[in-house]
Structure 1
């Protein structure tokens, strides 16, 4: 067991860790729904901190604005809100999102000794069914992480309330994490918001056929305090919010301790990049350091 006390778990928390059978299920299906990792009070504190963030509170701001930063502001109107780096800009959000139990679950799923934050995105999907931005097309996260060396990165989706089909919960394409991707001349590093929805649906169908697989879409019904985890190669998306209240959540992207920057290129030969590359410190050999504690803090380290 780790000797770093800040990463130790209570007996009650250890009981919430995935079993070997559940880890095997994650490997097979590409996603895992946890037990209640956050208390109701902690979730309510997340929502209060998010409200303060939307009201303009920042404990710090980014020194440089990255080129593809998601940064909703009131002038953008009632579209789906995405705000990156909230774990860095808000101490209250950061403290809650660094909960060691979340990292311990991720470590078991990823087969890692260490888990660091990679990114955090605050999301609000307004109750406007006809709003096009509310429907998130099929994609997988590794497409946007070409400069990351790891194939075991994962995302924790943390809603602030019960999250189901009516309010547009996250939906997984079951088992797609094990697919071999069909070669394509398309620039997969482009964010889904910059691509045509029908194009992405066609890519999903073609990749399923290439693997002799069925496109089985599974909406994940997430009770308050529970967390949905998915592998970086699991296709996922979400539908419109048909409820009468906003769907609110944080998408917490996580990296294993072995992850580091690697040079990667787009189909046209130009270098791929991630927003971190203009923000984080540099390694001894001059590469962006994806272990920079200011932006990528460790949330779990120790024996699994």
Structure 2
């Protein structure tokens, strides 16, 4: 996509967040959008994901990162997570690169450029007792310690109406503004590798440290709408109690200023994000988080 292609129609501009919406995002750490996708676009996205689950790839990753989320049928009826779907599937990528999504993110982040950071396809089966269906409290920046930006954000895009019964995403109001309590534990460990009760206790301790209550806000999201949350907003989700799978994409987004930085775990080892073995290198040898193959721009320009 060239710079000239980053434009909106008048009808799309009417769907952008207002200054009051941006203030809400800054205050509470989340935003529920207007309807940004049509039924036809979501039907196309779901059809493309069916092909993806059946094994279709337009291209393969050149290297398999150590922490790649890559569900296959052999993994069984667990909650499915598949990273880099925007890279591996042209049809999925075409929908996710919609400039309107980037423009909404640009206003919320206060940026003039938005790039994809990661796109994870999610399928939560209608199996309430499945442990992987519960996503414990966490915030995304913990896993993005190699990123310089504090304004990254995530768009959660369900393929259908998504409410409490589906185990929709739930935000912790205002938690992105908390000063994090130093605990000495390795916060870069993925929530899938940690005990949910441990993360619940960390959330409560951080709230108390900031003199705040834990205010849980489930996000009912009508089809075609999506939620956005700040990279430091605590969030999670419960089991899928519906009779059909909860299908969505978690679209992680970075502002144009974001770049790689070296970061170490508490044990002194380097933090490595999956991109670090895939993307091209900058002139000084660092992983380039602006690599257009893996981190394409979806908005550029003032709004």
* TM-score (norm: length of structure 1): 0.99
Per-residue Cα deviation, 1:212-231 (whole angstroms, up to 9, x for no partner) = 00100000000000010000
Whole-angstrom distance in 2 between the partners of 1:116 and 1:281: 15
CA distance in 2, matches of 1:4, 1:262: 27
State the 1:184 CA deviation.
1.5
Who is 1:5 aligned against? 4
Residue 275 of structure 1 is matched in structure 2 by 274
SS at match of 2:165: coil
Tell me, in whole angstroms, the C-alpha distance in 2 between the residues paired with 1:281 and 1:7: 24
Give distance in 2, aligned partners of 1:4 and 1:11: 18
Aligned pairs, how many?
302
Q: Which runs of 5+ in 1 are unaligned?
A: none
Indicate the SS of the match to 1:226: coil
1:147-197 per-residue CA deviation (whole Å, 9 max, x = no partner) reads: 000000000000000000001000000100100000011111110000011
* Structure 2 CA distance for aligned equivalents of residues 86 and 8 of structure 1: 24
Measured in 2, the distance between the counterparts of 1:5 and 1:70 equals 34
Matched, 1:244 2:224: no
CA RMSD, Structure 1 to Structure 2 (Å): 0.7
**Residue 179 of structure 1 corresponds to which residue in structure 2?**
178
* Alignment correspondent of 1:23: 22
Report the TM-score, using the length of structure 2 for normalisation: 0.99
Structure 2 unaligned regions, length at least 5: none
Q: How does 1:114-193 map to 2 (within 5 A)?
A: 114-193=113-192
Matching residue of 1:260: 259
Alignment of 1:69-88 (within 5 A): 69-88=68-87
Cα offset, 1:5, TM superposition: 2.8
* Number of the residue aligned with 2:35: 36
SS in 1 for 2:136: strand
User: 2 CA distance for matches of 1:141 and 1:156?
Assistant: 12
Q: What SS does structure 2 have at the residue aligned with 1:240?
A: coil
The match for 2:211 is: 212
| CA deviation string 1:75-120 (max 9, x = no partner) | 0000000000000000000000000000000000000000000000
Q: Which runs of 4+ in 1 moved over 2 A?
A: none
